[in-house]
Amino acid sequence: MSPVVVVLLLFAGLSEAAGRILPLVARRPGMSRTFVAGLLLPAGLVEGAVFALWPLTAWTLAELVLSSPPPGTGLEWTPSLVAPLVLAAVLAFPLLGPLLHLLLVVGVGAGLAGPLATATGLGWWGAAGCVAVAGAGLGVAVEGVRRLVVRISATRAPEVIA
């Protein structure tokens, strides 16, 4: 993975995490800024890692679908594939358009389906199914982690801001 792709994935992860965490902070006025900043960086790294794993997970699912392993080393992000993902992450803020965010993520998935179909020999629809299942599975896993973190952070006593 090129350094440009890594930076774009990290930016997308931080943006996605900010879009998920900041609305929670707005609902809980007693949270300190240091606690929020402490949540934002690890959450951004997790989101970036999930974005990085999406093509790998789709490739693994395609290997399971095919009777013989596909030739090649796998599917990787390229700057042209990851750029729309960064835009989708920027639009993750709920007030800026969750429907547009969803449409962009679906568009990114459709963009991944083409290279996956070419690399594995699956048809486009089969590759799109692998990308969709991989994205949905990773999304459910991250949502579970988010809910766990919110539940754990809710049990902490709110800090007094002086």
Q: Do the beta carbons of residue 43 and residue 116 sit within 8 Å?
A: no
Mapped onto helix, strand or coil, the DSSP state of residue 29 is coil
- Of 137 and 82, more confident: 137
The owner of tokens 């997308």 is 12
Rounded CA separation 105/138 (Å): 13
In this prediction, residues 128-155 reach a mean pLDDT of 85
Is residue 157 pLDDT above 60, yes or no? no
Q: What is the pTM of this model?
A: 0.77
- Which DSSP state fits 158? P
Rounded CA separation 125/108 (Å): 15
Q: Which helix (H) or strand (E) holds 6?
A: helix 3-27
Calculate Rg over the CA atoms of the chain.
18
Q: How far is CA 69 from CA 59, 65, 116, 160, in A?
A: 10, 9, 13, 57
Q: Do the beta carbons of residue 23 and residue 94 sit within 8 Å?
A: yes
pLDDT tens per residue, range 110-125:
889 998 888 888 889 9
Is residue 108 pLDDT above 80, yes or no? yes
Q: How far apart, in Å, do the first and last CA atoms of the chain sit?
A: 45
pLDDT tens per residue, range 8-26:
888 888 887 777 777 767 6
- Quick one: pLDDT at residue 68? 77
Q: The tokens of 127 are what?
A: 């590759």
Rounded CA separation 13/42 (Å): 10
Q: The tokens of 119 are what?
A: 């690399």
pLDDT tens per residue, range 24-55:
676 777 777 777 778 788 888 888 888 888 88
Is residue 94 pLDDT above 60, yes or no? no
- Of 141 and 94, more confident: 141
Rounded CA separation 8/88 (Å): 12
